[in-house]
Amino acid sequence: DAKTTQPPSMDCAEGRAANLPCNHSTISGNEYVYWYRQIHSQGPQYIIHGLKNNETNEMASLIITEDRKSSTLILPHATLRDTAVYYCIEKFNNAGNMLTFGGGTRLMVKP
């Protein structure tokens, strides 16, 4: 079973920041927080991951709380193409470690 909890759905206005929360209160010290998204009928797309420091790349920013029990994925300027299901997943960074997908958050970006 997935060990993270996410709201099932969220709406965001086009051009505004989308803030997607994730709770991972049982995360262990060596587990990373990974974010993927799946646009309809496509394979999941890697977005970003982090251990304890905040991370930023060309797609998004990841803010991890100091106690590491929750995190927020931020899409700074959401577009209609960001409409997707977003998955927050805990994973060790060892070879062969699997991803366990939960229900994710269905983000709908509206004009």
Partner 1 sequence: GAVVSQHPSRVICKSGTSVKIECRSLDFQATTMFWYRQFPKQSLMLMATSNEGSKATYEQGVEKDKFLINHASLTLSTLTVTSAHPEDSSFYICSASGPPQETQYFGPGTRLLVL
Residues at the contact surface with partner 1, assessed by CB under 8 A: 34, 36, 38, 41-46, 49, 87, 93-104
What's the closest the beta carbon of residue 103 comes to partner 1, in angstroms? 6
- Give dist(CA 29, CA 52) in Å, integer: 9
Q: How far is the CB of 11 from partner 1 (least distance, A)?
A: 19
Provide, rounded to whole angstroms, the least separation between the CB of residue 46 and partner 1.
6
What are the CA-CA distances from residue 51 to residues 30, 47, 86 (Å)?
8, 14, 18
> Which CB atom, from 77 or from 92, has the smaller least distance to partner 1?
92
DSSP letter (8 states) at residue 97:
P
Comparison of 14 and 101: residue with beta carbon closer to partner 1: 101
DSSP letters of 30-79? Answer: TEEEEEEEE-TTS--EEEEEESSS-EE-SS-EEEE-TTSSEEEEEETT--
Residue among 40 and 66 whose Cβ is closer to partner 1: 40
- Among residues 43, 38, 34, which one has the least CA distance to residue 4? 34
**Shortest Å distance, C-beta 32 to partner 1:** 9
User: Smaller CB distance to partner 1: residue 77 or 100?
Assistant: 100
